[in-house]
Amino acid sequence: MVILFNFICSVLKLCVLELVFIIISLAVFYFLFLHYAGFIIYRYIPCKMVMVAKKWFLNEFGSESVHNQTTSKSRPRPSSCATASLQTSFQVYTGLLLQLATPS
C-alpha cells in the first residue's frame, strides 16, 4: 500500500512539473514573439508584403475580431511600417489562436 501511495505521489509530482514547464515555455514563446516578430518582419519583409499578407489572412479566415481591430475608425493609423508590422503580426497570431481554439 505504501509503495502504491509513493508511486501515485511521484506521478503527480511529474505531472505538475510538466505542466509548469509547458506554461513557462508558452509564456517565453509568447514574449519572444511579441518582442521580436515585429522587428523581424520590419527588417526582412517589405511593408507592402505585410499588408498583402494581412488582407489574405482576413479573406481566408474571416476572423471577425481581427477584422474589427484592423478596420476600427476610432483608432489612428500606424505612423510607421514597424508599428504596422508589429500590429499585424500580433493580430495574425491572435487570430490563428482564436481559429485553433474555436471548435469546428
Instruction: Domain ranges for the chain, please list them.
Output: 31-101
Q: What is the mean pLDDT of the chain?
A: 68
At residue 57, the pLDDT reads: 72
**pLDDT: which is higher, 27 or 32:** 27
Straight-line distance from the first to the last Cα atom of the chain, in angstroms, rounded to the nearest whole number: 45
Cα(21)–Cα(31) distance, rounded to whole angstroms?
15
**Grid-cell match 505585410, residue found:** 50
Cα(52)–Cα(45) distance, rounded to whole angstroms?
11
Stretch 29-57: mean pLDDT, rounded?
Answer: 68
Q: What pTM did the predictor assign?
A: 0.33
Top mean-pLDDT range of 7-16, 33-42, 63-72, 74-83: 7-16
